[in-house]
Amino acid sequence: MKKRYFKILLDYGHLGNRNSLEVARYVTAKNCVDALFFGNRMPRVKRKREKTGVIKVIEISYSEYLRGQKNEADHSYLLTYKSRKCS
C-alpha cells in the first residue's frame, strides 16, 4: 500500500485554563481517517469538549512533508526533551 503524507492541524493544550495553541504536525498514514486518529492520540492534544483535538487534516506532497518535518524540529513547543545532569 502506498504511503500518503498529511499535515494535521492540532489544538494543543496545557497552557492554562481555556488557552490553546494551534500546531501543524506532519505524518504518514494510509488514509485521512488514520491520520485523524493518529493526530488525536498525540500527547498534549486537547480532547475535552469536542472529543477531538484535530482541527484539519490536509493531504500534502512528499516535499511539503520533508519541509514540515524540518520545521517541527525547530518548533520550541514541541521540543520537550530536557537532559538531566547526574552528579
- Per-residue pLDDT, 72: 81
Mean pLDDT for each 10-residue chunk of the chain (87 residues)? 90 73 90 90 73 88 93 68 56
**Is residue 87, in this structure, part of any structural domain at all?**
no
- Per-residue pLDDT, 12: 78
Backbone angles phi, psi at 45, to 5 degrees: -80, 135
- Per-residue pLDDT, 58: 94
Q: Look up the CATH number of the domain holding residue 58.
A: 3.10.20
Q: pTM score, two decimals? A: 0.75
- Per-residue pLDDT, 41: 84
**Is residue 61, in this structure, part of any structural domain at all?**
yes
- Per-residue pLDDT, 27: 93
Domain count, the chain: 1
**Is residue 50, in this structure, part of any structural domain at all?**
yes
Q: How many CB atoms lie within 10 A of CB 18?
A: 6
- Domain of 51 in residue numbering reads as 4-74
**Is residue 44, in this structure, part of any structural domain at all?**
yes
**Is residue 81, in this structure, part of any structural domain at all?**
no
**Is residue 80, in this structure, part of any structural domain at all?**
no
**Is residue 27, in this structure, part of any structural domain at all?**
yes
- Per-residue pLDDT, 71: 86
